[in-house]
């Protein structure tokens, strides 16, 4: 099925460093979502973006909805060990009544204390 | 309940047996989704229920997979004649009209 291009695939950083990951698509989306998945758990919504150009922060997290509506990035500032996990981007077409999300393959983040 | 509940959390089954996975969505959420996640992989869409509309079954990998949603609430994903390649974590999510999904913790299925 259709997937988003998410990069990088994995990152290994030192505690305190900033992190940036992004997703691109050949299709236009009306909504971009960023999720984090801890081991043994389902993904949890971090940030939702609903308008092109929108920049939204949630604590140390900042995400932007690209102006072309085909991309989004997520930044994590001053990383801490609990940031470890897999981060997924997802795009939502909102075509008609279909709210099915299109997912990236994830960015695996490891933080060295 | 407060979140999406899935049961069982773990299931080990013999190849060829049928399994049923259950999802209790958040009360009032009209949309329900099933995804499959293989080890170290992303999320593979399986099926989507929206209100009383016909479900979107476009992600079901074979006719051994089926799902029902009774009364617009609880959903059951059934896998018949399980194969080893069916081993994965099966995630259920629900959503309201205006917000992203809330996921359950998943059912880890192991076919031996």
Tokens 């075509």, residue located: A95
Which residues neighbour A35 within 8 Å (Cβ) at sequence distance 6 or greater?
A: A43, A44, A45, A46, A87, A88, A89, A90, B100, B103
> Which of A43, A51, A104 is the best mutation test for B, with the most CBs of B within 10 A?
A43
Minimal Cβ distance to A99: which of B31, B44, B102: B31
| CB-based contact B103 A90, cutoff 8 Å | no
Give the model confidence (pLDDT) of B83-102 as tens digits. 999 999 999 999 886 667 89
Q: How many helices (H) and strands (E) does chain A have?
A: 0, 11
The residue written with tokens 């099926």 in the block is B47
pLDDT tens-place values along chain B, 112 residues long? 579 999 999 999 999 999 999 999 999 888 999 999 987 778 899 999 988 888 999 999 999 999 999 887 999 999 999 999 999 999 999 988 666 789 999 999 999 9
Q: Which two three-digit tokens encode residue A35?
A: 């999720």
């Amino acid at each position: 099925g259709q997937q988003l291009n998410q990069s990088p695939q994995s990152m290994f950083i030192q505690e305190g460093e900033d992190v940036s990951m992004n997703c691109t698509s050949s299709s236009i989306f009306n909504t971009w979502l960023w999720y984090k998945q801890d081991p043994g758990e389902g993904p949890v919504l971090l940030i939702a973006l609903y308008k092109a150009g929108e920049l939204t922060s949630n604590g140390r997290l900042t995400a932007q909805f690209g102006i072309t509506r085909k991309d989004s990035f997520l930044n994590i500032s001053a990383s801490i060990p609990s940031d470890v996990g897999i981060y997924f981007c997802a795009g939502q077409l909102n075509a008609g009544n279909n709210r099915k999300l299109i997912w990236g393959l994830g960015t695996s983040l490891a933080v060295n204390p | 309940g407060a979140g999406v509940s899935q049961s069982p959390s773990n299931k080990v089954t013999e190849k060829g047996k049928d399994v049923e996975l259950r999802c209790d969505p958040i009360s009032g959420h009209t949309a329900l989704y099933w995804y499959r996640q293989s080890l170290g992989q992303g999320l593979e869409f399986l099926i989507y229920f929206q209100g009383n509309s016909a479900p979107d079954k476009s992600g079901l990998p074979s006719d051994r997979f089926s799902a029902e949603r009774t009364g617009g609430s609880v959903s059951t994903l059934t896998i018949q004649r399980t194969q080893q390649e069916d081993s994965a974590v099966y995630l259920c999510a629900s959503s309201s009209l205006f917000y992203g999904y809330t996921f359950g913790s998943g059912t880890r299925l192991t076919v031996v």
